[in-house]
Structure 1
Amino acid sequence: MAPKKEVKEKQVKGDEAEEMVLNYMKETNRPYANADVSANLKNRVPKAAAVKVLATLAEKGQLTVKPYGKQLIYLYNQSLLDVLAPEELASLDEEIKETKSELEEKRKELKNLQSELASKEALPKTKDLAKGIEKVKADNEITLKALAPFRSTSDGEAAVNPLSAEETKKIDMEFTKWRKEWVDRRKIYKELLGMLTDGGQIDNVQSFEEDQGITPDDDDAKEVEQGEFVKVPLPIRSSNNKKTMNMGVQKVMNGPTKRNYSDVSPLSQEDVSGGKKKKAKKA
């Protein structure tokens, strides 16, 4: 079906055009150029007629006119406007306050609706639900496989006995204990290495560590440090650090030797190896 043609407004002339322009300027009470008036009236008053009508109304004192660049700006004569009584002004002020209050409420309502819309848009789309379900099923399958050894066998006993709360607590305490020792030794070593480097005794840190038999933390140790076991940093011991550091400096200055943990800590080599075993078991 063909779209309907817009019906053009009938153009007016003479006194009718003058009355239409005057009423429009009074109702809007805003400054306009002649082209604006003609366009706003949807060309019911042609541009040429609008120029003459506006000039005539200005001569009669019903409009005021001021030049602005190359065009003339017309405004309804403000002295002809009705002056409101104090009661009417007070009523308008009250109406303005109520309108502002309603506007604020609408803004809050709009904000809540926008927030609700954002939360709903963040939900999975219907077309993506199938993929989400498949992912949940895959995760569930992995969990079931992990739980399988702990479930009852044909004889009614679990294939693997889970740790009790006491055993878990004991292992956690052991891990915490040996991790503290490791953190202390690492701090002492870094401080010692910094002193030797600043003093000029070590030119190449990598060569020095190779000569002393020192290896950096491997990927497993880094993974443990970033994992669930050590979310909260543990306190580092401060006792005998200075004395131990001086002993280490003296050892290194006497010549490169095989690195031994006893150089920087009063713990025995047996304790250190035991700590490594405990840590490996926990990890």
Structure 2
Amino acid sequence: MSKSKDATGVSIILNYLNEKNRPYSAQDVFGNLQKQHGLGKTAVVKAMETLAQQGKIKEKVYGKQKIYFADQSQFADVSDAELKNMDSQISELNSQVQSVQQNCRQLETDTDSSFTHCLVATELKELTSSLTTEEMVSEIEELKKECEGYKQRLEKITLATNHITPQEKEKVYKERNRYIKEWKKRKRLATDMMDAILEGYPKSKKQFLEEVGVETDEDCKVTVPSI
């Protein structure tokens, strides 16, 4: 490393120790400054030894471990009264931190509880408005009959020539468009409802759909036809 870089490293380390004003090993200083300033470990060790030799920082040896800290003579003396006042301020701030943390935990609990109530209310509303098993079986049978009628009609249309009048054709297209519009309307209503719920839902949309058992058009590989 060049002399200019050595000098820069020494200045950085001296400022760091004076600013933090707490004991550090050379390994600690290297770990704390390496990422930001790119100082090598050897350069850090050398710089701290140099600063200690120059009396700019203090060095203490504990067995094989060397600890370095700022020269305390550069700092103003603090009276016992000031120390007690600082301890009091620290204690007060710790109490405030604990109070804020408790409030945060309470708010998180309240938010989760509100969301759960909202989700339960939504599910209950859906269940109470749903058909009974007997009603669903009856409706399925009706739909099967209706579907079979359409199949027979389609077969006649396919086999016949000029079987459909322009008026019937127009009627079919109008019915198709009406069903497509209803499809889009219901899909939009369902999407708006889910988006409103998801604003306070802590998980992803995919997890929400799985929990409430909703299958989307995309899950069934179905797309809304264009009109």
TM over 0.5: no
Bin of the TM-score, shorter chain as denominator length: 0.3 to 0.5
Q: TM-score, normalised by structure 2?
A: 0.44
Larger Rg: 1
Q: Which has the higher contact order (CA 8 A, sep 6+)?
A: 2
